[in-house]
Amino acid sequence: MSMNNLERIEMRYIVPVAAKISAGKSHLLNALYNIDLLESKSGIVTKFVNILRYNPKIKEPRFFHLIVIKVGERYIFYKDNSEKGIIGKQNIIEAIKKINEKLAKENYVDYENIFYMTEINESPFITNKEYLLKHDLCDIPGLSEYQENGDNEQNEIKEYDVMNNSELKTEDDIYYNIKLEKNSYINEIFSIIKDYIDGGIIILSVENYYYKQNYEMIATLKKVIKKEINNFLIILNKIDQSENPEEDVKKCKGLISQNFPSFKTFNISKNTFIPLSVNQLKNELLLRNDFKYLLNFHFQNYFNKIKKEEKNAISAGKSFIDHLRGIIKNAIQISKEEIKKK
C-alpha cells in the first residue's frame, strides 16, 4: 500500500475492554457513549478492533479503517484514505455488520488489518471531556481462545477446589505456565496496542466468572503487555441474573485472591471492582429520554424485589402495576412536601 494514501492519526492513550465472548463488552460501550453502533448480540459477534474516539468538532459519527505499521518496537496508526470513510449512525451500523460477517467467514486473521476507528461527536454520560480528549476506549473481539471445549465442568473452578484442593494453581503457576500462542486475539492485538494502554476494563460475567480461563486471561494479559495491571475497572456483569448477588460477588473476589495470592500478576486493591448490570445501567442512563427505558428500569427493580421476597419466603402479592402505583404515590408525596417547604 502506498504511503500517499495514509494519514497518520493523533495517538491517545488506549483503554481496552477485555472479556470472554458474550460478557457484555459492546453493550457496555453502547451504554456509556449513548450509541447503538456496536453489535451486542449473544455469541461471537465483534471480529475486529474498534477504537472509539471522542471528537466534538464533527457533526455526525464517522467510521474508517486504520492501518498499523510497526516502526522499531512500536506500532504507528494511520487512517486509510484509499477507502471511503462512513458517516452517520445507520451507515456505520450497517458497515460494522458487514465487516463482522466478512471476517467471520475467514479462516486467517490479518491482525494488523482489523483495526478501525469510530469517531463520536457526543458523550452525554461521560462528563470528564478532558479525559476523553486524551483517552480512546477500545472494543476488542471476545477472547475466544478461551472458549470451552466439551464439558464446561472441566474448565470450572469449583468451590471445593478453591477451599480444599492444595494442588490448585498458584499465581506463579498461572503466570509462568501460560504460553503465548501466535495468531491468538489476546497476544496479537495487545502486542500492537500495549505501548498506548493506560488503564482498561475487564468484564467477567455472573454466568461464568468461576471458569479458570477468566483468570488465565488476566495472567496472559499481564504477560503480553509487560506492565502492571493497575487502575483497571473489573466488572462482574449480569448481576441482575444472579440468584444471590452478594454471594456471587464474594465468590468472585475470593477466586481472584485464590488465583493471585501473591498479588504480583494482579492486585485487586490496585484496581476497582464493581458488580453491575449493563442492561440496568443503560435503562438508568436513558430513562429521562425514553419512556421505554423508564419502564424497563422500574420493571428490573420490581423483578429483583420479587426474587428477594421469594427467597426469603415473603409473599407480598404485588403486581408490576401495583409497584408503579407505589412509585407514583411516593413521587406525589415528595412533590407536595417540597412545595410546602417553599
Question: Domain holding 257: CATH number?
Answer: 3.40.50.300
Q: Are both 124 and 264 inside the same structural domain?
A: yes
CA distances 328 to 174, 228, 297, Å, are 53, 49, 14
Q: Which residue has the higher pLDDT, 41 or 10?
A: 10
pLDDT value at residue 282: 74
Same domain (yes/no): 310, 166: no
Please state the domain count of the chain: 2
Task: Tell me, yes or no, whether 322 and 234 share the same domain.
Answer: no
CA distance 33 to 271: 22
Span of 176-180, 318-322, 332-336 with lowest mean pLDDT: 332-336
In a domain, 285, yes or no: no
- Examine the domain organization and report whether 66 and 209 are in the same domain: yes
pLDDT value at position 156? 46
- What distances in angstroms separate CA 135 from CA 55, 128, 131, 132, 215, one per listed residue? 11, 11, 6, 5, 26
* Among candidate residues 243, 276, 309, the one where a domain is terminated: 276
Higher local confidence (pLDDT), 286 or 224: 224
Please state, in angstroms and rounded to a whole number, the distance separating the CA atoms of residues 303 and 282: 17
Residue 283 lies in a domain: no
Of the three residues 276, 306, 332, the one that is the final residue of a domain is: 276
The residue with greater pLDDT, 232 or 149, is 232
Rounded to whole angstroms, the Cα distance separating 58 from 104 reads 31
For residue 342, pLDDT over 70 is answered with: no
Residues 91-103, mean pLDDT to the nearest whole number = 90
Instruction: Kindly state whether residue 20 falls inside one of the protein's structural domains.
Output: yes
Do 91 and 162 reside in the same domain of the chain?
Answer: yes
Question: Residue 282 falls within a domain, yes or no?
Answer: no
- In which element (H, E) is residue 53 found? strand 49-54
Residues 144 and 221 in one domain: yes
Mean pLDDT of 331-336: 64
The mean-pLDDT minimum among 118-122, 144-148, 179-183 falls in: 144-148
In sequence order, the 6+-apart residues with CB closer than 8 A to the CB of 19 are 25, 142, 143, 202, 203, 204, 205
Domain limits at 301? 290-341
Residue 281 lies in a domain: no
- Strand duo 232-237 + 272-275: pairing: parallel
Pair (245, 295) in one structural domain: no
Residue 104: the pLDDT is 86
3-state secondary structure of 135: strand
Question: Is 284 domain-assigned?
Answer: no
3-state helix, strand, coil in the chain (%, to 5): 45, 20, 35
Q: Do residue 57 and residue 188 come from a single domain?
A: yes
pLDDT at 43: 54
Mean pLDDT score, 93-120: 90
Our separate counts of H helices and E strands in the chain read: 11, 11
Q: Which residue in 110, 133, 115, 118 sits closest to 87, CA to CA? A: 118
Indicate if 313 and 272 belong to the same structural domain.
Answer: no
Task: State residue 27's pLDDT score.
Answer: 78
**Euclidean distance between CA atoms 104 and 95, whole angstroms:** 14
Domain assignment present for residue 198? The answer is: yes
| 24 shares its domain with 169 | yes
The letter for the amino acid at 50 is: N
Same-domain status, 166 and 66: yes
- Model pTM? 0.78
Angle at 143 between CA 94 and CA 23, to 5 degrees: 75
Q: Which residues neighbour 271 within 8 Å (Cβ) at sequence distance 6 or greater?
A: 229, 230, 231, 232, 233, 234
Dihedral angle over CA of 65, 68, 69, 70, nearest 10: 180
User: Where does a domain end: 228, 243, 276?
Assistant: 276
pLDDT digits (tens, 9 = 90+) for 152-193: 433 444 433 443 344 444 445 777 778 887 778 888 999 999
Residue 2 has pLDDT above 50, yes or no: yes
Q: Do 230 and 326 fall within a single domain? A: no
Question: Parallel, antiparallel, or unpaired for β 6-8 and 62-71?
Answer: unpaired
pLDDT over threshold 80, residue 215 = yes
Classify residue 135: in a domain, yes or no. Answer: yes
pLDDT tens, residue by residue, 216-257: 999 999 999 988 899 999 999 999 888 888 999 999 999 998
- What burial class does residue 291 get, using C-beta atoms within 10 Å of its C-beta: 0-12 exposed, 13-18 middle, 19+ buried? exposed
